[in-house]
């Protein structure tokens, strides 16, 4: 069993810990927190060993037992997943190197924090045996999952994406906007295009970003000029076969992120999480070599399976992307409980051979 430490137990960290817990080849070595807040209490309630990132005294005062400091967690872990806020991960990098412990960072860090920027569907093999990897941001993850099969099957001449982003996660009370629509950034391209190019260095992509007053999900308006001319039906079939892409059927009547989250909560997903890209099937349109579609990205959840695959890649326990993706998806439940655009249960066997 791989002993995986999670440094940070916030929006991403708590989800990664729960995902590690259900993997057949991993166990949670412990989680590190800076303060004994409600998330630390939840970690303790769930039976995770709790480690103090900035001293044990506050935890003692709150009557929360700790198993040690973050140094102890790193020492006992085969791999550490750093889910601390943007910038903190880079500050932690020397600590992981000091203990010679492979580390995974999140997309809020600059690309040079790690040996490789990582997306399981696009470049898993590049991270096998690396000392460090950076799981790219939620939006870059969503775009990479979409672009990888398109590049492989049809070639991509150019991509143009407008990203309409939520103003904050539900728990981020200090962010916004509250009553505005913001070009963010005003400059073009937004940071998302260059970030996608850390996965696909030769990709021609332009991105524009916006922020809107919602805590739901990001929505992408995507136009891809392909190198060949598939039909709409052929592209739809290709995307349907991807386990981490969910094509929303018109019959479900889901016209926005609010209903989409309601659907996944009713379907029994933990926290209502949506690990997959959600593509409106009826939006998929091919005109000549130009593909158009809308997709929604759950910013709190889509990077979670990617972190699990990155653990396997760094530890060299699974050299095959297909096998790791299948193992992660089956254990976590990716692809289950949702209905595909043709009315059938969502498939989970894409890119997964025996």
Binding residues: 11-12, 108, 137-139, 166, 192-193, 299
User: What's the DSSP call for residue 243?
Assistant: T
Q: Which residues pair with 211 in a beta bridge?
A: 165, 182
Q: Give the whole-angstrom CA distance, residue 221 versus residue 139.
A: 12
Measure Cα distances from 157 to 19, 103, 146, 226 in Å: 36, 34, 14, 5
Indicate if 278 belongs to the active site.
no
From 138, 224, 235, 247, active-site residue: 138
Measure Cα distances from 354 to 67, 152, 242, 323, 351 in Å: 40, 22, 17, 8, 10
In the numeric block, which tokens belong to residue 342?
């043709």
Pairing relationship of beta strands 205-212 and 182-183 according to DSSP bridges: antiparallel
Contacts of 242 (CB under 8 A, 6+ apart): 121, 145, 149, 350, 351
What are residue 95's phi and psi, to 5 degrees?
-65, -45
Cα 324 to chain centroid distance, Å, stands at 15
Q: Give the whole-angstrom CA distance, residue 267 versus residue 214.
A: 22
Helix (H, G, I), strand (E, B) or coil at 209: strand
What count of Cα atoms within 13 Å lies in the side-chain half-sphere of residue 23? 27
For residues 212 and 321, is the Cβ–Cβ distance under 8 A?
Answer: no
Buried b vs exposed e over 139-176: b needs ≥16 C-beta within 10 Å? Answer: bbbbbbbbbbbbbeebebeebbbebbbbbbeeeeeeee
Residues belonging to the binding site for NAD(+) are: 11-12, 108, 166, 299
Residue 342 burial (CB count, 10 A): 12
For residues 318 and 312, is the Cβ–Cβ distance under 8 A?
Answer: yes
Q: Which residues are catalytic?
A: 138
């Amino acid at each position: 069993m791989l002993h995986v430490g999670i440094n940070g137990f916030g929006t991403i960290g708590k989800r990664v810990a729960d995902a590690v817990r259900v993997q057949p080849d991993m166990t949670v070595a412990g989680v590190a927190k800076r303060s004994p807040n409600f998330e630390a209490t939840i970690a303790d309630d769930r039976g995770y060993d709790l480690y103090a990132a900035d001293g044990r005294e506050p935890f003692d005062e709150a009557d929360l037992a700790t198993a040690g400091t973050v140094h102890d967690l790193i020492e006992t872990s085969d791999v550490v997943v750093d889910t601390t806020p943007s910038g903190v991960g880079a500050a932690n990098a020397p600590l992981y190197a000091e203990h010679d412990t492979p580390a995974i960072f999140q997309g809020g860090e600059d690309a040079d924090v790690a040996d490789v920027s990582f997306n399981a569907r696009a470049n898993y093999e590049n991270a096998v045996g690396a000392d460090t990897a950076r799981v790219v941001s939620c939006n870059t993850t969503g775009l990479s999952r979409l672009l990888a099969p398109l590049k492989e099957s049809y070639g991509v001449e150019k991509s143009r994406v407008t990203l309409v982003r939520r103003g904050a996660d539900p728990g981020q009370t200090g962010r916004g906007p509250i009553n505005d629509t913001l070009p963010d950034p005003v400059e073009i391209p937004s940071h998302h295009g260059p970030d996608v190019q850390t996965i696909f260095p030769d990709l021609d992509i332009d991105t524009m970003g916006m922020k809107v007053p919602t805590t739901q999900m990001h929505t992408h308006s995507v136009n891809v000029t392909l190198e060949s001319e598939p039909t709409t039906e052929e592209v739809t079939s290709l995307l349907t076969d991807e386990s981490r892409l969910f094509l929303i059927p018109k019959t479900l009547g889901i016209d926005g992120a609010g209903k989409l989250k309601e659907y996944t909560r009713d379907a029994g997903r933990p926290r209502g999480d949506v690990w997959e890209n959600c593509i409106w099937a009826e939006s998929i349109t091919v005109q000549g070599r130009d593909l158009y579609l809308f997709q929604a990205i759950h910013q709190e959840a889509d990077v979670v399976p990617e972190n699990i695959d990155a653990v396997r890649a760094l530890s060299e326990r699974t050299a095959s992307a297909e096998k790791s993706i299948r193992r992660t998806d089956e254990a976590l439940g990716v692809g289950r409980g949702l209905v595909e655009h043709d009315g059938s249960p969502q498939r989970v066997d894409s890119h997964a051979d025996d």
